[in-house]
Structure 1
Amino acid sequence: MPVTDIAKDVENHTLTITAEFAAPVARVWALYEDPRQLEQVWGPPEYPATFVDHELREGTRTTYYMTSPEGERFAGYWDVTGVDAPTRFTFRDGFARADLTPNPDLPVSDCLYEFSETEGGTRAVYTTTYASAEALQQVLDMGMEEGARSAIGQIDAFLTRG
């Protein structure tokens, strides 16, 4: 399983997930750059993603939705705040309404995705920071930890296929 650690820091409102992939950093980066590849691993397998807009460049907005087994859509967005290819990018991650506009009633997080070479692959560290401990708890109660573990768990298999 690619996920090697999940650390919750309620005091600092963060969730940090560490994963190891058997692919070089450039290959992992390519996955996050390409919306068609990203669709294959963003979200749990039973909630496939569709990226409507995606360009991994500072100042852009990514929009997407995931579809439940029953056909219900759950939308989200990223506002990309920084890109240092191929080792890190930052973005504000939020929930969206059906029309893909931000839903201000749900938490927004600041995300830092970092990739470094390891012997035989890549270490990825995904750090998500919320405005409050309550916002962190709200997304944890929504199943975010389990969903992230499941989504990240798909990446190694996808990288070895593609």
Structure 2
Amino acid sequence: MTNQTVSKVEGNVLILERVFNAPRELVFQAFSEAEHLKQWWGPRGWTVPVCNIDFRPGGIWHYCMKCEDKNQGDFYGMESWGKGVYKDIVTSEKIGYTDYFSDSEGNVSAEMPVTDVIIQFVEFEGKTKLVNTSTYVSAEALQTVLDMGMEQGINETWDRLEEHLQNV
């Protein structure tokens, strides 16, 4: 991939930016429709066997990522559940939601950091610049997810998104 993700940390905020060679409407669809998300969400070697979306303010996105790659050692077979609650949606421009770690029933994990996410889809030289701003309750909460390898995970996820967009 020639186009890499740019990331910066400002206290309790993580900002990620990347330009995708695809129209803004398509990139927005890739984030708002289950059939798209199942194709690219998560790091390499992980699939999304469960992806339920009620895409509207107040609606819920509940999903499971599962490691299917035997080469990932202890991660093989592991499931990671997440739950997003949509707050603000402007078609083809912005998605705002609160992101939680959860269980298969959608119960939120009290031990794991909560993230307020704003994803902006910006027209950029005929392409789409994605700006993902994630705000945590504290710099320590942000550091917790960084220590879990979240940056590598998002880079692999966005690489998969780029591949998906080229195949659509």
Cα distance in 2, alignment partners of residues 73 and 111 from structure 1: 22
Residue 73 (1) aligns with residue 79 (2): yes
Deviation track 1:13-54 (CA, whole Å, cap 9, x = no partner) reads 011110111111011111112101111121102111234320
Cα distance in 1, alignment partners of residues 110 and 4 from structure 2: 30
Q: Is the 8 A contact 2:38 2:51 kept in 1?
A: no
Q: Which residue of 1 aligns with 2:144?
A: 138
Could you tell me the TM-score, scaled by structure 1's length? 0.93
Unaligned runs of 5+ in 1: none
Percent identical residues: 29
Cα distance in 1, alignment partners of residues 18 and 63 from structure 2: 23
Residue 58 (1) aligns with residue 57 (2): yes
Q: Is the 8 A contact 1:25 1:117 kept in 2?
A: yes
Q: Is the 8 A contact 1:25 1:86 kept in 2?
A: yes
The structure where helix makes up a greater share of residues is: 2
Q: Which residue of 2 aligns with 1:105?
A: 111
Q: Which residue of 2 aligns with 1:16?
A: 15
2:100 maps to which of 74, 94, 102: 94
Deviation track 1:99-156 (CA, whole Å, cap 9, x = no partner) reads 3321111100000000011112100001101001110010011111110111011112
Cα distance in 2, alignment partners of residues 52 and 126 from structure 1: 21
Cα distance in 1, alignment partners of residues 157 and 6 from structure 2: 14
Q: Which residue of 1 aligns with 2:8?
A: 7
Cα distance in 1, alignment partners of residues 95 and 104 from structure 2: 26
Cα distance in 2, alignment partners of residues 156 and 92 from structure 1: 24
Number of aligned pairs? 160
Q: Is the 8 A contact 1:36 1:51 kept in 2?
A: no
Could you tell me the TM-score, scaled by structure 2's length? 0.90
Cα distance in 2, alignment partners of residues 51 and 88 from structure 1: 24
SS at match of 1:110: strand
